Amino acid sequence: MDNIAIVGVAQTKFEQRKKDKTFFDLVYEMTRSAMDDAGFHLEDIDNVVTVSNDFLDGRTISAMAVGDAAGAHDKNVSTVEGDGTFGAFYGAMRVLGGFGTTLVVVHSKGSEGDVRYVTNAMFDPVYQRSLGIEAVSSSALQANQYMHRYGLGEKDFAAISVKNYSNAKSNPYAHRQLDVTISDVMKSKKIADPIKSLDCSPISDGAAAIIIADEANARKAKTKPIWVKGIAHCSDT
C-alpha cells in the first residue's frame, strides 16, 4: 500500500444538544480547524468527503447540503451516507486512488428527532417496522444470538462498556466521561434484554474532521504525520 497519513484533525465537544449551531456551522468550524491543524489552505485540498446520516438529518443525500461549508466548491466531492469511520475509510481510498489530499467532515445532530422512531424507519416497512423494532432492540436481538453462539454472558458485554468509558476519559471532547465499573453497568436500567443504559451510546450533537494526504503532501504539513499502516472493511447482508 502507498504511504498515506492523517495530517489534520478537529472535533467539536459532543453534547446532548447544540441549540446554537446548525449543521452548516459545525461543518464550517471543523473544516477550518482541521486545515489550521495541518497548516493547509483551501487550495491545498484536492478532494472533499462529507458524511452524515440521512435518517437523522431528515433528508435524502443530506451530506450534499454542507458541501459549501466544507470548502467543496470547484473540487472533487464525494458524499457518504453512513458514519464517520466509513467516511474516513472512503477518504483514504480517494487518496490511494490518486488525490493528493482529502478532507473528510462528518456531522450529526441526533437531538433533532426521536431516535427510536428514526431508526425504526430503517427496517422493512411491511414485516418489521410494525413490531416497533429500532436500533437498540435490534442490537439486543443480535447480542442474545451472539451470547448463545459463543457462550458469553452480560458481564462480558459490560466489560466492553467499561473499556469504552475508560477510553473516553482521555478525550476532553467525549460526550460521557465517567468512572464506570462492571457492577455499575450491570445495575443500570435495562433497555432491551440484555442491553442496559450504560451499554448504550448517548444521543449526541457534534462534528469532526480529518485530512488524509499522500506521502508528498504529508511531508508539507506542520503536524507530525500519523501514517496509516493498514485498513480493511467488510459488510454482510
Q: pLDDT tens digit string along 88-142?
A: 999 999 999 999 999 999 998 888 888 888 889 889 999 999 999 999 999 999 9
pLDDT higher than 90, residue 6: yes
**Spatial CB neighbours of 202, under 8 Å, sequence gap ≥ 6:** 16, 175, 176
pLDDT band at 13 (very low <50, low <70, confident <90, very high): very high
pLDDT higher than 80, residue 237: no
pLDDT at 209: 97
- Spatial separation of the C-alpha atoms in residues 149 and 146, rounded to whole Å: 5
Query: Residues in the chain, how many?
Result: 237
Of the two residues 18 and 187, the one the predictor is more confident about is 187
pTM: 0.86
pLDDT at 224: 93
pLDDT at 114: 85
Q: Say what percent of the chain tops pLDDT 90.
A: 65
pLDDT band at 21 (very low <50, low <70, confident <90, very high): confident
Average pLDDT over the chain, rounded to whole?
91
pLDDT higher than 80, residue 195: yes
> 4-113+203-227: CATH homologous superfamily?
Thiolase/Chalcone synthase (3.40.47.10)
How far are the Cα atoms of 2, 5, 68, 212 from residue 100, in angstroms, in the given order?
A: 12, 11, 20, 8
pLDDT higher than 80, residue 70: yes
pLDDT higher than 90, residue 65: no
pLDDT higher than 80, residue 236: no
Find the angle CA(110)-CA(111)-CA(114) to the nearest 5 degrees.
85
**Spatial CB neighbours of 20, under 8 Å, sequence gap ≥ 6:** none
pLDDT at 77: 86
**Spatial CB neighbours of 71, under 8 Å, sequence gap ≥ 6:** 31, 42, 45, 48, 103
pLDDT at 5: 97
Q: At which residue does the C-alpha cell 493547509 appear?
A: 40
